[in-house]
Structure formats: structure tokens, C-alpha cells
Amino acid sequence: MSTIADVARRAGVSKMTVSRVINDSGYISQETRERVEQAISELGYIPNALARSLRFKQTRTIALILTDITNPFFTTLARGVEDVASEQGFSVIFCNTDESEKEEAEYINVLLQKQVDGLLLVPTSSTEDAIAPLREQGLPFVLLDRYVPGTRLDSVRGDSIHGAYALMQHLLDLGHRRIAVLSGPAEVTTSVDRVEGVRRAAHDAGLELDLSQVYYGPFSLEGGYAMATQALAAEPRPTAIYAMNNFIAMSALRVAREIGLRVPEDLSVVTFDDLPAAFVAEPFLTVAEQPAYEMGQQATALLLDRLSSKGPTEPMEIILPTRLIVRKSSGPVPA
Amino acid sequence: MSTIADVARRAGVSKMTVSRVINDSGYISQETRERVEQAISELGYIPNALARSLRFKQTRTIALILTDITNPFFTTLARGVEDVASEQGFSVIFCNTDESEKEEAEYINVLLQKQVDGLLLVPTSSTEDAIAPLREQGLPFVLLDRYVPGTRLDSVRGDSIHGAYALMQHLLDLGHRRIAVLSGPAEVTTSVDRVEGVRRAAHDAGLELDLSQVYYGPFSLEGGYAMATQALAAEPRPTAIYAMNNFIAMSALRVAREIGLRVPEDLSVVTFDDLPAAFVAEPFLTVAEQPAYEMGQQATALLLDRLSSKGPTEPMEIILPTRLIVRKSSGPVPA
DNA sequence: CTTGCATATGTTACCGATAACACACAATAT
DNA sequence: ATATTGTGTGTTATCGGTAACATATGCAAG
């Protein structure tokens, strides 16, 4: 691995002259430039970005901390992030926390050490603990998908309240009254907001949300399985299941099948988050779809914007609309 | 952002002493250690990994270059990579090439500049062009999923030949003889090997593969759609479609539905790559499943191993077995 | 003929860390 | 009493770049 000094020696000039050729800055005679370029290609010289970063205090690297890249919502979002970042010459480090605050804190610590220019974060907890070090070190960051209540921070997320409202309204319109809500963790803002959307829809229909019908658990297949099992064992059995994410919905479908319930004849199932068309031959689930790719794009654009513009600005909250897609998993109340 | 010099000043010692405290190296009196630790926490000092990396020539960062993180096979693989890497204290930069050699070359260039310690690469082309700079700069790398024919390089991949063989044998056992093979790009080794597996299975059954029934196209929904449309328009129509990846299979199912063919009654469909259980309520496709997560894990383990052990070793090719999972998308030949 | 500016290149210091070496002092060995 | 060893700390140089400043030459303007 040759350095700028090697190139300089070979071309018989100073390091500075080589630097000028590389960065096309200052005055260089045509002849010198050619000699330097010759030396560069002979040595296969590649500038060391580390050294540059050390001086410039800029790594042109950002990080994306999410809970699990394996969740198709986050996969798509990650793709949106990487597309925008790479277009603007930034690299993306990705990290999976699995909802662990400890993992999250460790990743943040490492990323601070690595001097990433900015951070996109799907926060695991609703407290400010995780982001405290970020503020302290002055690292620009944008919250993704979730936010931290009571703070004003840059954040990009789906419109959970209205999305949840529309989905609930759809069930109510179909005549459902016994609706089991399988939510994510009670501390996560997406859960809270979606339950709130559900509550409002019920309220606006002249009903009150039966809190005993709201289950809380992890946003995972296992969490969904446990909640669905419990919910469907209740008497009288709910006529609809309202899942707060795709994993939970998938488990609900599984449990329904296991206990011999047909969807939607015996049980309606609706959920947040759609699955990419590439994964489903025949789209079946009625969903509130979030624009995951755009979320990733916009969060990254916002972050990179923060990096380039110096002055402090008002925090920005970008809330993207969800889209209700009615399919075959929801139907009228069974007789 | 405070530096080691700030800490030293505040604690009234030299930078070296602070460095010793941080790294717990050399001799330090208890009293000095406490003063330094005090200063560190007062300043919220975080060591600059860039500066360290510059000295040590080690960034503890690797990169993963793949075609598209959105493909569930690669998503799962990426998760395997990140899990092993983070466990060993490495960060992962991820890059999507979309099968573009230009993108690939650009990413590689940037990553070389950023001094990543190693690279995991799903090569876009079958030539050595892309990896030439890697060898030249002496950057350790492991090929993933695909390889470069005629070279001996570290690589981890699925057993395409035997996987394809088993899947073909399954179709032949069911009595299918008119089988359309919807392959990926003809230059990609996974395509080549899978077609070879198909050919061998046919040969061993006393048949010869009808090359006019082999279609080549991108490993994408669009590619699959075009190939499936063409294949199913042929006369006599094939009784089975053999897709070489999940996207192609999904499009094949779509085309079948569009032209009113029932699967598997009118048409059997089999494919490489399974979808994670979380995405499918009722698993339907007969597949040759590749252990994507393990592939990511093993490739990363191999790469990190190369980084820590100095001496040159024999290149290692790890070929992981695929698993035939027979489901409902394949059935006997229609009468 | 001197001043001034454009052109071309080199020198020094620095970004933030650490290895290697130097130095000072105490305790122990001879 | 002196040499040796262990302990604790500081100084210098370095990783690979670049900003800021310094230097040198040629040519046009006053």
C-alpha cells in the first residue's frame, strides 16, 4: 500500500505537489502533473481516506441503527437509506439492535469513536438515555420510524395514528365489534400511536376501546404467536384481529389456521406494514402500508442536509402518510 | 469533541499517561489513574478511532457488497454477516450494486480508500476485473454466493449443482418432461451451476436437456415475468417451470395466474431460495433452500480469520448444502 | 529599474492517537 | 555504598494526508 510520500519520491516532487494533483487544487505545471499521474498509476496509489478524515473531521460515513434488517419494512427502508447516501458519496454502516438497549448503546459508542458524520436511529426505548451521548458529542442524527416523546428532534416516521384509524374504521365498517388488538411493546411510540389511532376510531364510532382486548408484546413472530393464541382463546372469541406489524399478523394467521379458523370467513385479520410484492404471489392481507423506502430516503436526505448546512435549524418532523389497502383477509362479521 | 490532549491538560498529566489509562497498559499510579478517569468523565471524552486506525492500519470495519439487500436471500445473509462481525467488534458497511459492474468498481474504490480491513463480495461479473484492485492492494476478501471461474479464491456459496439436481430430479420423478428453466444471467456462476445441475439430472434420467427450454434473464421480478411469459407461450406448453431464484418464481406464479393456469394442477413451479417463514402464511413453493444466514456467518468468520492470522494460507471454498423442501407448488404431470 | 502579481513548488505544523525511548525515583540486591 | 530492578511519567517521532505560509521565477505595469 503506497502512500503519498512514495508517489512524491517517485515523481521527484514534494508530497504537497502530489496532493495538489490529486485534489486538482492550486497551480501545477502540465509537465509535473503528468509525472505525478504517471507515478500514481505505476504505484497503484490510492489515497488514504483515514488520514484525510482525521484532518477534515469528516468521514463521509453515516450509520443506520435499526432493530432487525430482516424485517422487510426495515430492509426496504435500509435500501432507501443506502441509495440516497451512496448517491451523495456517503457510506452506510448498519447495525441490528434486536430491541436491546444495551446493544444500541454499544453501537452508538463505537460509531462515535469511528467518527461517523451522522446517525439514523430507530430508537429501542422511549427515553432519552440512548440519545444523550449523541447530543453530548454533537453528532447529528435523525430518528426513524419511532420518536422520543416529549422531545423535539429530527424524525421521519409513518403516520401511525391516522393509519391505525383508517384500519380500525375499516373493521368497524365491516361490523366488527370484538376486535383483538395485538400491539408491539407498550413503550414503543409506534405501538402507543397505533393504539391511540384505534381508540379514536372506536370513539368516533360511538364506541369505547376495550382495553382488555389490547395485547402488548414484542414485534416478532414469537410475540405475535403468544398474543394471538391468548386473544383467540378468549370467550367470546374476537371476530377480528388487528396486528400492529407484519410479523404479528403472520403469526395470527398461523394460529388461526392451527385452531381451524378460516380467514376472513371466521376471522378478519388486518395489519400495519405491507409485504413487498416480490414476496407474495397473491396479496391477501388488508394493511395500512407505510412508505418504507421513502422513509429511508427522506431521513437520509434530511440527515445529509443537516451535515452540509452549518447553522442550527428548527427540528423537523416528517410524518409520511400510510395507505389503506383492502384485500381478502378482512370481511364482514360472521353470522 | 474533546481530545486526549484536553483530558491530559485537565488531569495535569501528559497525553501518554492518558493513553495508558485508556488502554490499561504500562504503569500508572492509582492516584493518577483516578484523576485521569475523572477528567475523562467530566469531559465526556471518547477516543478517536480514526487516529488509532491511522497508526494501527486497522479500522475494524469490513464491507459487504451485494446486489440488492432487498432480496430476502441477501437480507438474511447480511444479518448473518453483521451478527458475526459485531460479535467480534467489527462494523459492517453495506453496498448495493444492482448487478452493475460500474457501481461495484466504485464501491470497491471507496472502500479501499476508507481502509476497510476486509471485504465480502457478491461479484457482479465472472471476470477478474472487479477483484484485480483488491489483489493489487492486498485487501483480504471472500466471495459470497458466486465465484470467479478459473480462480482459486476464498469463497462461500450454496451447492448450486446438487441443489439444482435434486430439484430437477423431483420434477422428473413427478413425470415432467417439458420443463422450462428460467435462469438468471448466463454469465453468473450460480446460473451456470444450476443449469449444469439440471442437465446432469436429466442426463442421469436418460434424457438430454432441451436447451431451447432454458431462458436467461435478470434475477428480478421483471426478468422473471418476461421469461415466464415467453416460456408459457411456447407450444406445446411446458408442464413445469423451474425458476432459478425466488423473484423469478414469484413472477412465474403471477404469469400463471394471469393466463389462468392453476398451480400445481396445470403447472408445477419449483425454485431456488426459500422465503423466510415470517413472510408466508402458508408455505407453498417447492424449493431448494440455501442456508443464507449460515452463508453470511461462515463467510464473515472466514474473512475475520484471514485478518487475524498473518501467514498466507490455501484459498478455501466453503460450499454449503441446499435442502429440498417439497410443498404444494409441484405435482404430477397434468393428464 | 522596481514593484506587483500570477505561476509553480517546497516547508512546517497539525489532525489525534501511540510506540519507542528517556528519565526520575524508590526499593531491593550485592 | 553502589548496582539493579521495578514503577511512574514525559518527550519525540510517526501514521498519511493537507492548510498555511514561504520561496522562487517570469512577465507586465508604472
pLDDT (tens digit per residue) in A141-180? 999 999 999 999 999 999 999 999 999 999 999 999 999 9
Distance from CA of A94 to the nearest CA of B (A): 6
Specify the pLDDT at position B311: 63
Q: How far is the CA of B20 from the C1' of C20 (A)?
A: 14
Q: Is the CB of A23 under 7 A from strand D?
A: yes
Look at residue A310 in the predicted model and tell me its pLDDT. 64
Does residue B41 reach within 7 angstroms of strand D, measured from its CB? Answer: no
Q: In a mutagenesis test of the B interface, which of A65, A67, A70 is the best target, namely the one with the most B β-carbons within 10 Å? A: A70
B3 CA to C17 C1', in Å?
A: 9
The predicted structure's pLDDT at residue B144: 97
Average confidence (pLDDT) over B197-204: 96
Q: Distance (Å) from the C-alpha of residue B204 to the closest C-alpha of chain A?
A: 33
Contact of A54 with B51, CB cutoff 8 Å: yes
Q: Which of A128, A137, A61, A69 is nearest to A97 (CA)?
A: A69
For range B126-135, the mean pLDDT: 92
Residue B322: its pLDDT value, please?
Answer: 97
pLDDT recorded at residue A280? 87
Find chain B residues with C-beta within 8 A of A281's C-beta. 250, 253-254, 257, 284
How many CB pairs lie under 8 A apart between chains A and B? Answer: 159
Predicted pLDDT at B277: 85
Q: What is the mean pLDDT of chain A?
A: 95
Among residues of chain A, what percentage have pLDDT more than 70? 99
pLDDT score recorded for residue A72: 95
Chain A residues with beta carbon closer than 8 angstroms to that of B95: 82, 86, 91
Position A201 pLDDT exceeds 90:
yes
Q: Where would I find the beta strands (DSSP E) of chain A?
A: 61-66, 91-96, 118-121, 141-144, 155-158, 179-183, 214-216, 240-243, 268-272, 286-289, 317-320, 323-325
**Cα gap A52→A59, rounded to integer Å:** 8
Whether the pLDDT of residue A326 is over 70: the answer is yes
Please judge whether B257 and A47 are an interchain contact, meaning their C-beta atoms are less than 8 angstroms apart.
no
pLDDT range class, residue A335, cuts 50, 70, 90: confident
Q: Under an 8 A CB cutoff, do A59 and B50 touch?
A: yes
Is the pLDDT assigned to residue B48 strictly greater than 90? Answer: yes
Residue B210 pLDDT > 90: no
Nearest alpha carbon to residue A53 among B60, B46, B139, B51: B51
Probe site for chain A from B279, B286, B329 (most A CB atoms < 10 A): B279
Q: pLDDT > 70: what percent of chain B?
A: 99
- What's the Å distance between residue A284 CA and nucleotide D24 C1'? 78
- Phi-psi category of residue B147: left, alpha or beta, with phi > 0 → left and psi -120 to 50 → alpha: beta
Give the closest residue to C12 (Cα–C1′): A16
B30/C27 CA-to-C1' distance in Å = 18
